[in-house]
Amino acid sequence: MAVIINLDQEREKEQPDALTRLCDLVQDDLENVNRLIIENMHSPVELIPQLAGHIIAAGGKRLRPVLTLAAAQMCGYHGQRHAALAACVEFIHTATLLHDDVVDESTLRRGEASANVLWGNKASVLVGDFLFSRAFQLMVADGNLRVLEILSAASAIIAEGEVLQLMTSNDTATSEQAYLEVIMGKTAALFAAACEVGAVVADRPKKEHEALGSYGMNLGIAFQLIDDALDYSAKQENLGKTIGDDFREGKITLPVILAFLRGDESERDFWRRTLERQEQDDADLRQAIQLMERHGTLKDTVQRAAHYGAIARDALGIFPDSAEKRALTDVVEFVIRRGH
């Protein structure tokens, strides 16, 4: 494993990463998406574009809208509808980030002060609501009922996933299946919708809609699994995040679930004290990581991600070879490699 990681790191020095290559393929459309985002953030209420602009600017490489653009392009679409729908996807994602930071009482977002710290919880929630509303305006403007069905359903599923996560927080009895239901809702559903609408605007057959939905769903699961493993990794600092946020918030993620199941009774008492009762001291995070390393739960979480990544890659098998298909395939490996 270590040798493979070192070779990958050497290759990354020589060529752009897979996400950069994917972004390059849709660069012109992505610039159009960014223009639409700025236009649709506008409001005579000054705080709205100010706060929304802050979090959107900290949003990284816009993976989800890029997936919409690349999926449409792979399906042979040559119009402009996919750009507005990609902007819609980004607004849904950004709205959920604003709400998540309030719920989680987060202070940082990609290394910058979170919106709720700068403007308060009330403003963050209300601007999140504004962005959801803008997303639905963009859906309606597209005029396709199937697009509206896919993206509105994803919005509802995301909310359900967040509520499920709230219900499982601090509960060390949470099963792996319950955890998967949480991440399928709160993360993977939007990945799936972002990809599927690419096939819809291209007017492709239903089997291609389903294939891209499967690709997005499994990529999203892999993405979240790696994120949850990274929360206990020093690599978090490179991503502008602090190590152990999930631990401090009492979130029950797969590395914790596996460590709890594999541990003895004294170790389970540790998890109950720190996560259920939230009785933590400065040494507890280090002990949590040591327990995960002892039982191999971080490695196994990455292996679970690789499994879902393989399903995502296989879902693209029905599409003919193209630069977009190759880039979408490579993005799966890019997502998983973050955990190495």
Euclidean distance between CA atoms 52 and 98, whole angstroms: 9
For 59, the token pair is 């949003």
- Asked if the structure places residue 5 within a domain, the reply is no
Is pLDDT above 80 for 1? no
DSSP code per residue over 85-141 = HHHHHHHHHHHHHHHHHHHHT--EETTEE-HHHHH-HHHHHHHHHHHHHHHHHHHHH
Q: What is the pLDDT of residue 16?
A: 72
Residue 77 lies in a domain: yes
48 within a domain of the structure (yes/no): yes
Q: What is the pLDDT of residue 174?
A: 97
pLDDT in tens, 175-187: 999 999 999 999 9
Q: Is residue 102 part of a domain?
A: yes
Average pLDDT estimate for 106-120? 86
φ, ψ for residue 112, nearest 5 deg: -110, 160
Predicted local confidence at residue 215, as pLDDT: 98
Tokens representing residue 106 in the block: 């987060």
Q: What is the pLDDT of residues 215-249, one digit of tens each?
A: 999 999 999 999 999 999 876 655 556 789 999 99
Please give the pLDDT value at position 338.
85
Query: Side chain identity at 173, as an amino acid letter?
Result: A
pLDDT of residue 60: 67
Structural domains counted in the chain: 1
CA 61 vs CA 11, 90, 328: distances in Å: 21, 11, 15
CATH number at residue 80: 1.10.600.10
Least confident window among 4-8, 213-217, 266-270, 322-326 = 4-8
Q: Which domain holds residue 101?
A: 13-337
Residue 3 lies in a domain: no
- pLDDT classification of 59: cutoffs 50, 70, 90: low
Asked if residue 197 is part of any domain, the answer here is yes
Question: Is 2 contained in some domain?
Answer: no
pLDDT-derived band at 4 (thresholds 50, 70, 90) equals: very low
In this prediction, residue 236 carries a pLDDT of 61
pLDDT greater at residue 239 or residue 282 = 282
| Structural domain contains residue 93 | yes
